[in-house]
Amino acid sequence: MGVGIGENGRSRKFERFLVEVEPRLRRALVATYGPVDGREAAQDALSWAWEHWDRMADVRHPVAYLYRVGQSAVRRFGSRPLPADLLLEAAVDFPDISPELWPALGRLSSQQRTIVLLVHGFGWPQSEVAALLEVNPSTVREHLQRALSRLRTELVVTDAC
């Protein structure tokens, strides 16, 4: 049985959607839940988006919406404790960053870690992070300031260059 013309159009639209949304969604969920749970949550959220594609047309912020779907997925399959090498994958993506930073990031709250990684690691504007987390931009700023202060205290910086 072949795929109808409508299904082909749907598939092409969804493929374009994936190219735009998947990397941002995966990064956000990995920043919050670690590489294993984050990737599984992203896959679950994107599967949900495919199954409910008609609903996605009305979604104003698809990454934020699917982030919430991914969070529900993590709750369903039971979040595991963050691994000691939580950000090993990120360390590969950011080889110029001191290895001591990754464990320190792992000790932040999940919301602070998510905000720091998205803003400073992936260059997201604070307003987009606020939309993703469904909080006020001032909340993002406050969490970011507290997280950076904690990181500065924990990681003794001897060279400010």
Ranges of CATH 1.10.10.10 domains, the chain:
86-161
Q: Check whether 87 has a pLDDT greater than 80.
A: no
Q: Check whether 96 has a pLDDT greater than 80.
A: no
* pTM, to two decimals: 0.77
Torsion from C-alpha of 36, 143, 129, 115, nearest 10 degrees: -30
Ranges of CATH 1.10.1740 domains, the chain:
1-81
Q: What CA–CA distances, in Å, run from 156 to 54, 101, 111?
A: 51, 11, 23
If we measure between CA atoms, which residue out of 77, 61, 149 comes closest to residue 112?
Answer: 149
39-68, pLDDT tens digit by residue? 999 999 999 999 999 999 889 899 999 999
99-122, pLDDT tens digit by residue? 778 788 888 998 999 999 899 988
Could you tell me where the DSSP H helices lie in the chain?
5-51, 53-56, 62-77, 88-93, 101-106, 110-116, 126-133, 137-154
Q: Check whether 31 has a pLDDT greater than 90.
A: no
pLDDT of residue 81: 60
Domain 86-161 indexed as CATH 1.20.1440.230: no
| DSSP 3-state of 46 | helix
- Which top CATH class is 1-81? mainly alpha
Residues constituting the chain: 161
